[in-house]
Chains A and B, each alone.
Chain A
């Protein structure tokens, strides 16, 4: 039986899981937001990685077909999207039940009836909206968690209500979302994947009856390649799907890392520092890496690595959180926008406004002053992004500078403005010849390193 290895990175903001095979290839990724209950977060990430691994194995099995026939690729992507939606749907159903309970225990009389009606109306609007986005617009690929997806739409709907309902509607939301989020919803992969195929049939039937040119749905070119032949694709793929649904993903060994690592029920030897794991993961993806900058939810780490991927020294911030994910979240709140919008908005800037405060709280105060004097939000954000990257640069300098090659990892590496300034400042300070590596899997480097340690410490 093939052996797989699991790495879990229980970060302060997000929990990541990576499954690798015996060749250190990533075959499964799982990610969720870290919540009050670390164990649930770990389980969700782990299960998600296992589901994802099944899809990866499917893609590997059909590698030749995927390369030669784009409809196969699209079909599998579609199954995965619907599969993600069905997982979401199970949680959403639980949330609706939880809302009922919260309303019953919080309100009485007429107010209760009003709130019940509001909630019903809201869910009647947002549930189909989300379904549609998952199935037709690939929402599952947007790195959003259950809470983010629901919150964004729920908030939009309550903004339409009278101001006096804002507080009670938020109160029951908070009361309801947390228990659902902290409850583990285990899915039966087999059941869900066949259900996903049903939903897909519905989608493709719609496709058959639709003329893209007059449709209100944005059918992309890729989608149209399935028109007229999705049944054949389905037939030829069915057997493989049955295989991956029934296969046993045997996790031979696992290693946990990240801030919550001590809470994982793993033996001591299976718990590794995130510094080692990030460096090891980054080095595996980019074997010439000498310096790693990891900006996570809670801290920034500058790590120096030797030719084996082993850490020789590291530096962490412990006086200022500016630059970490949590800080960016705080700034997003300050601007009343979502975290994902920060980077794009900063990238639209025409200039960079200088932000001097090195403290998170004072920086927020400085931002307010700048807004008061009429500076543009985008320009302030650009300056802010630059200033936080400058702090990461000082940490890099303390750790011994940037050595060729330089790899940027961690969740914050997803922010395009941070990326822009890291690239710019690393080049400015350490030379244009320096190779800078940034990977789409940057957030998974710690979990990948963990999985690699798990493989190396595994004994038959």
Chain B
């Protein structure tokens, strides 16, 4: 682990973007900008930006704390308050941060919320999470946006209308009141037009894994790539520039026949191509990635990078129908898909990107992602006759990352893939 992390130009741009947002948040009290706490899955940050407000994502703060090895203390503090061992560790880490003065992962104070925008898509823990936030900030209004689960495989017009009604009657009036600005649909349309461009580029980026070798790792690096769209930049010109630059860099790699850049250096030989389901472990992120790097395993697609939005099945925002688009976008996010749709999506990824195997990283404290994973895995194993693997870790609780167990299982899984190639050849 002595090597320094390799950085591409786009990574530096992203770092500056995030630092800029954090700075803006740090100055929010002085500049008078209002702050909205909300969630990543199906996040309607275009609407927040249309009101000139700033978004804060508690999960992102938690995962960043995890990556900076600060989460364990926060989790223990939340447990002292009575949060059980089984509660989502994003929640506990976030609660721990807040009761410790709301100092963010970068050391800057995160401003208190002016609005709690409770949008929940498949993850009902969010409701309990915001109940806790409401107790911490009793005077802050809560706007509730409920997203219907795609139980029947498709979004019906009634479902869209139900969401638009909530946006019109619940979310927008509260945003108007908090921000002091009137809802400006033309402004929202312009922001959404930018989002649409980014969606196109994102699709092209994640599609480059069709190449051999794959120029990117669509899981470990993929979670960095989705940073700007999930972290307050959806619909901004900066996001367009960032993704254009990123795409250009990746295409350069494709033209030069290069594999992904990893913290350990360039992946020289692509031995295995995998599709991964489930969030990564953040507290041991680099160590975790290295286990794959050492085996020459490249992730050609992952479900977690679709947590903010699924574009693979053809969904795009339509700026001409802004509220309907936001509604459909929320309903289309990965955790809001039913299990069969998830199987379909993953199956398409495995086939389209010629994966050798499918791996689940099941998160011990995450109900919304982990429920149904075994069924997904078994269906894919039977349907596509590919080797499947299962490991368990946690989001940001370092106590649940067992290096030896994970290594042992991954080694066996990679040997399964290798042996298959050898014997079947």
Contact = CB atoms under 8 A, between A and B. Distances in A.
Interface of A: 272-276, 304, 306, 308, 310-316, 318, 398, 400, 453, 456-457
Contacts of B420: 310
A313 B387 CA distance: 6
A313 B389 contact: yes
A313 B377 contact: yes
A311 B387 CA distance: 7
A453 B389 CA distance: 21
Contacts of B313: none
A312 B405 contact: no
12 contacts: A272-B419, A273-B408, A273-B416, A306-B385, A310-B416, A311-B416, A313-B389, A316-B408, A318-B392, A318-B405, A398-B374, A453-B419
Contacts of B424: 308, 310
Contacts of B132: none
Given A318-B402, A400-B378, A276 B416 contact: yes
B198 to A, nearest CB: 37
Contacts of A274: 412
A275 B412 CA distance: 7
A289 to B, nearest CB: 16
Contact of B387 (A273, A312, A316): A312
Contact of B388 (A273, A310, A312, A456): A312
Contacts of B381: 304, 312-313, 400
Contacts of A312: 381, 385-388, 416
Contacts of B411: 273
B423 A308 contact: yes
A456 B418 CA distance: 13
A315 B362 CA distance: 13
Nearest to A280: B419
Contacts of B412: 273-276, 311, 314
Nearest to B374: A398
Contacts of A311: 387, 412, 416, 419
Given A310-B419, A400-B378, A400-B381, A315 B387 contact: no
A274 B387 CA distance: 16
Contacts of B386: 312
Contacts of B416: 273, 275-276, 310-312, 314
Interface string B271-311: 00000000000000000000000000000000000000000
A25 to B, nearest CB: 20
B419 A276 contact: yes
* Most chain B beta carbons < 10 A, residue from A310, A313, A318: A313
A457 B415 CA distance: 14
Majority SS of interface residues in chain B?
helix
Nearest to A314: B412
A400 B375 CA distance: 8
B390 interface: yes
Name the 7 nearest CB pairs between A and B, nearest first.
A273-B412, A275-B412, A313-B388, A400-B378, A273-B415, A311-B416, A318-B405
Interface string B346-390: 000000000000000000000000000010011001000111111
Nearest to A453: B419
Contact of B423 (A310, A314, A316): A310
B253 interface: no
Interface residues of B, number: 24
Contacts of B387: 310-313
A318 B386 CA distance: 24
Majority secondary structure, A binding face: mixed
B423 A456 contact: yes
Contacts of B109: none
B69 interface: no
Contacts of A318: 392, 402, 405
A1 B423 CA distance: 26
A275 B409 CA distance: 9
A312 B412 CA distance: 11
Nearest to A310: B420
Contacts of A313: 377-378, 381, 387-390
A457 B377 CA distance: 30
Nearest to A313: B388
A316 B409 contact: yes
Highest count of chain A CB atoms <10 Å: which of B385, B386, B411: B411
Contacts of A304: 381
Interface centre among A272, A312, A453, by most chain B C-beta atoms within 10 angstroms, is: A312
Interface string B174-200: 000000000000000000000000000
A132 B247 CA distance: 80
Interface in B104-155: none
Given A274-B412, A318-B392, 15 more contacts: A273-B408, A273-B415, A275-B416, A276-B415, A310-B420, A310-B424, A311-B419, A312-B381, A313-B378, A313-B388, A314-B412, A316-B409, A318-B402, A453-B419, A456-B422
B300 to A, nearest CB: 19
B399 to A, nearest CB: 13
Contacts of A456: 422-423
Interface string B399-411: 0001001001101
A310 B389 CA distance: 13
A393 B385 CA distance: 24
A61 B402 CA distance: 52
Contacts of B415: 272-273, 276
Contacts of A400: 374, 377-378, 381
A326 to B, nearest CB: 16
A304 B412 CA distance: 13
A395 to B, nearest CB: 11
A456 B421 CA distance: 13
Nearest to B402: A318
Contacts of B419: 272, 276, 310-311, 453
Contacts of B388: 312-313
A429 to B, nearest CB: 16
A362 B374 CA distance: 29
B390 A315 contact: yes
A456 B419 CA distance: 11
Contacts of B390: 313-315
Nearest to A275: B412
Between B386, B415, B420, the greatest number of chain A beta carbons within 10 A of the residue's beta carbon is seen for: B415
A314 B374 CA distance: 11
A19 B142 CA distance: 70
A85 to B, nearest CB: 39
A303 to B, nearest CB: 10
A308 B424 CA distance: 8
A393 to B, nearest CB: 15
Contacts of A306: 385
A272 B423 CA distance: 14
Contacts of B408: 273, 316
B346 to A, nearest CB: 15
Most A CB within 10 A of own CB, among B377, B385, B392, B408: B408
Contacts of B402: 318
A457 B385 CA distance: 24
A50 to B, nearest CB: 27
Nearest to B364: A319
A276 B420 CA distance: 10
A297 to B, nearest CB: 15
A310 B412 CA distance: 12
A308 B423 CA distance: 8
A379 B402 CA distance: 37
Contacts of B389: 313-314
A53 to B, nearest CB: 26
A306 B390 CA distance: 18
